[in-house]
Amino acid sequence: MGVPVEQHVMEHRGTLPSGAQEWKCPTCGRHFIVNWPPRYQQLVLEEGDANAAHVGSRGDVRLDGVDVAPAPSPQAEDAWRSWLAENGMTWDDDGQVA
Ligand SMILES: [Zn+2]
């Protein structure tokens, strides 16, 4: 404690059909996909600055009564899809992974 830590604000880039979210840091390039609990999983595509404190922001997502669902990048979707396959999970269009 007491040591200043650089703080980076992550940007929400999109949401995959499974519900997993793509996040990217515009400052250092940290790039990952996260699936929230109850099945918490994180896939790091780009390490970025591991010493910085990363905080999420939804400031770029407008929720004016419209369900905004920005599309994830093809890179993120491919990475997530192959990660699921490597872990014995199949892509399910219903979003229901038993
Ligand atoms: Zn960063």
Distance 11 CA to ligand 1 centre (A): 10
Distance 50 CA to ligand 1 centre (A): 8
Higher model confidence: residue 85 or residue 61? 85
Distance 1 CA to ligand 1 centre (A): 20
Distance 85 CA to ligand 1 centre (A): 28
Q: In Å, what is the CA distance from 19 to each residue of 41, 53, 61, 87? A: 11, 24, 16, 17
Distance 27 CA to ligand 1 centre (A): 5
pLDDT digits 0-9 by tens, 16-49? 888 899 999 999 999 999 988 788 889 999 999 9
Q: Who contacts 4 (Cβ-Cβ below 8 Å, separation ≥6)?
A: none
Q: 0.75 cut: is pTM over it?
A: no
